Amino acid sequence: MKVLKFGGSSLSTPATVRQVGKILLAARRREPLIVVVSAFEGVTNRLLDCARLAERADPAFEEAFKHIARRHRDAVTQLIKQGRARVRDEVDALLAELHSTLEGIHLLRHCPVRALDMTASFGERLSALIVAAHLARTHPAAFVDARDFLVTDDQFTHANVIFKKTNRRTRAYFSQMFRRSGRTIPIVTGFIGATEDGQTTTIGRNGSDYSAAIVAAAVGASEVQIWTDVDGLLTCDPRFVPSARVIDHLSHEEAAELASFGAKLHPRTLEPAIEAGIPVRVLNTHNPASPGTLITREGTARATGPRSVARKRNVTVVHMTSNKMLGAHGFLARLFEVFEQLEMSVDLITTSEVSVSVTIDEKEHLSHLIERLAPVADVEVSENQCIMAIVGRNLMRDSIVGSRVFEAMRGIPMSMFSLGTSGLNLSIVVDEADADRSVRAIHAVLFEAAVGAAP
Ligand code: ASP
Ligand code: MG
């Protein structure tokens, strides 16, 4: 049994839904499947916009609703020929329920979080219904509402999954379904669940990957496939480095490290599967022949070496210097207390005897930060900096990676350089203006050089 998840980019137009149908038919020939879908591309955002417009009593919410309705009705028209009237009725019933929800928000001029989750849930309910109906033309398929087994607490908009109950109910649900008909392909709504007393919840934005991992772990699937619009995780962002290539196999740790640099995938959400020892494969709906990237708990046997160079733009570096730091204790605690008070999260840190440099993402409280740090240290701020991270395992087992990277950076000023003791991430901070050529130079020495170059 494999669990296949298709995100919004795989469900952007009727043509891509057809492509998903083809992928499913081919995959079902090999083994039984459970399919998890997210809403059609962009629909969740539009639904949330609708709720906010209704709350402000902005009559534009009616227009926004009509746009969503039209898009789903058009999909039915284009994707379903036989039995279209029945599917159309089911879609219309969901749309009517959505409209009532929005009217309720409009009347109350208030949108409590539970109404927000109810509104958002229609994206996945509509897409799963339409995908199942489209597939049912050629193969037995069933719409499955995850609220029937995915049990959460009542932290609306980011509800916590209650695993014990969820696992038990998920197993029971699918074993009953497959006992009735072993050939059915269930199409499950991602992203949504329900509390014990039946309130609709969502499990956090982009939660469909999480739904897929939860279902896979519960039923003991042999693989989770995340179908998206790229060939997998790459050695670099191909917009900057055209020679970037797909990474064939990564450990969960490496993937998590990459995700913190903006890779589209968030391995934290895959944890239920990874922890259960289930491999995760990232695949491209628009290029299904590509082998994709495999993510497993342990990664490849080839345990050492760089896998990817990622970057995070628009960071701010805060340099703090104080002579009082010499031989003193409690200095770092005092500095970081300020960050804590302002709820500012720090990414990279480098230190010397009398100075500390950190990077931060947000700029909003920067002036407050400088003000509060002033009594403790001299502060210097550099904005428009870029972190480049070389991710891989045991990067310092030998000095080859370090020496190649330094060689590549020759002549380019760096403001920070840091290697975690885990050896998973070697990070360099440069001015945004130097970022493009730095990334290209590093990618070239680590991934493009002659045979044997990539350690
Ligand atoms: N449709 C939901 C969202 O946009 C969940 C998902 O896409 O995974 O956040
Ligand atoms: Mg998504």
The third-level CATH classification (topology) of the domain covering 306-448 is: VC0802-like (3.30.2130)
CATH 3.30.2130.10 domain span(s) along the chain: 306-448
**Mind listing the pLDDT tens digit for each residue in 415-448?**
999 987 777 889 999 999 999 999 999 999 999 9
> Can you tell me which atom of ligand 1 is nearest the CA of 209?
8
For residue 243, how many other CB atoms are within 10 A of its CB? 12
Ligand 1 and 38: CB distance under 6 A:
yes
Ligand 1: distance of its center to the CA of 44 in Å?
Answer: 6
For residue 331, how many other CB atoms are within 10 A of its CB? 18
Stated length of the chain: 455
Euclidean distance between CA atoms 366 and 112, whole angstroms: 32
2-6/425-431 β-pairing: unpaired
**Average pLDDT over all residues of the chain:** 93
pLDDT of residue 302: 67
Tokens of 426: 């070697």
The protein residue with its alpha carbon nearest to ligand 1, atom 3, reads 206
Angle between helices 113-135 and 14-30 in degrees, nearest 10: 70
pLDDT of residue 299: 86
CATH number for the domain whose boundaries are 2-228: 3.40.1160.10
Q: Which residues pair with 346 in a beta bridge?
A: 360
**Mind listing the pLDDT tens digit for each residue in 284-300?**
999 999 999 999 988 87
The protein residue with its alpha carbon nearest to ligand 1, atom 5, reads 206
Least confident of 104-113, 149-158, 327-336, 379-388: 327-336
* Portion of the chain with pLDDT greater than 70, in percent: 97
CATH 3.40.1160.10 domain span(s) along the chain: 2-228
pLDDT of residue 266: 78
425-431/416-419 β-pairing: antiparallel
Residue 236 contacts by C-beta under 8 Å, 6 or more apart in sequence? 244, 308, 309, 310, 439, 443, 447
pLDDT surpasses 90 at 163:
yes
Question: Residue 49: which pLDDT band, with cuts at 50, 70 and 90?
Answer: very high
Are the C-beta atoms of residues 408 and 212 closer than 8 Å to each other?
A: no
**Mind listing the pLDDT tens digit for each residue in 305-362?**
899 999 999 999 999 998 876 777 888 899 999 999 999 999 899 988 889 999 998 8
> 180: closest CA among 188, 168, 172?
172
> Can you tell me which atom of ligand 1 is nearest the CA of 205?
9
Q: How far is CA 261 from the centre of its chain?
A: 11
Ligand 1: distance of its center to the CA of 264 in Å?
Answer: 12
Residue 135 contacts by C-beta under 8 Å, 6 or more apart in sequence? 21, 24, 25, 141, 185, 187
Q: Which residues pair with 389 in a beta bridge?
A: 310, 427
pLDDT of residue 283: 96
> 135: closest CA among 88, 80, 94?
80
Question: Residue 450: which pLDDT band, with cuts at 50, 70 and 90?
Answer: low
Q: Which residue has the tokens 């902005």?
A: 58
Ligand 1 and 8: CB distance under 6 A:
yes
> Can you tell me which atom of ligand 1 is nearest the CA of 45?
4
Return the DSSP state at 269: G
